[in-house]
Chain A
Amino acid sequence: AQSVTQLDSHVSVSEGTPVLLRCNYSSSYSPSLFWYVQHPNKGLQLLLKYTSAATLVKGINGFEAEFKKSETSFHLTKPSAHMSDAAEYFCVVSERDSSYKLIFGSGTRLLVRP
């Protein structure tokens, strides 16, 4: 079975400093991986996805993630945090059977200090 582990429940950074949200996955075969963001009272929004093409994936709002098979990791980064980045972030792996069900990590709450 596939799963994802988000190593930090909370991450706090200062505005303008780099962001690193960590995610490790477990999969029997090559997975599809995603990062979603959830702002309060808003729906989940896809930041980026990896589907076996380039290992460095660029997403929206300056976020990017690198798929590292040797480390089974898919960490999310951003060079410079903005106050509007404060939200809950979910690392997600997709089943590769016909259902394409999404399996969510436990989430990381990003706090951005002024």
Chain B
Amino acid sequence: GAVVSQHPSRVICKSGTSVKIECRSLDFQATTMFWYRQFPKKSLMLMATSNEGSKATYEQGVEKDKFLINHASLTLSTLTVTSAHPEDSSFYICSARVSFSGGGTYEQYFGPGTRLTVT
């Protein structure tokens, strides 16, 4: 099956610094990846859609200058949290979209998530 990895799995950074999270599709190519944020005991909130070779599409209320997304290749998307603050502490999850049957149906495969703690 399709495997998506994330690195790092956990990261602690100081307030004001930036941190980069990588999302990789290991055995397939993904033109579209998604970034989600999950607060403790809460659901997943879609932050942005990452398209290979073009700018990411951000959901309403998500600061594009704070959460920089780069999808430079068909197997890698990165999320950089810039000038992190304690309120950015959260669980960040990526997914990669795979199409089947000549593009008629899609499925998303999720990474294991990255726990970010900003002190």
Contacts and interface: CB of A to CB of B under 8 A. Distances in A.
A100 B97 contact: yes
Contact of A100 (B42, B106, B112, B113): B106
Given A43-B112, A90-B43, A49 B107 contact: yes
Interface in A11-49: 36, 41-46, 49
B118 to A, nearest CB: 20
B34 A101 contact: yes
A49 B34 CA distance: 19
Dominant SS at the B interface? strand
Contacts of B106: 94, 100
Interface residues of A, number: 20
Interface residues of B, number: 20
Interface stretch (A61-69, A70-78, A79-87, A103-111): A103-111
Contacts of A41: 112
A43 B26 CA distance: 15
A85 B49 CA distance: 31
B97 to A, nearest CB: 7
Contacts of B54: none
A102 B108 CA distance: 9
Interface in B25-49: 34, 42-46, 49
A102 B107 CA distance: 10
Given A51-B105, A99-B49, 16 more contacts: A36-B110, A41-B112, A43-B113, A44-B44, A44-B93, A44-B95, A44-B110, A99-B57, A100-B106, A101-B46, A101-B49, A102-B108, A104-B43, A104-B44, A104-B45, A105-B43
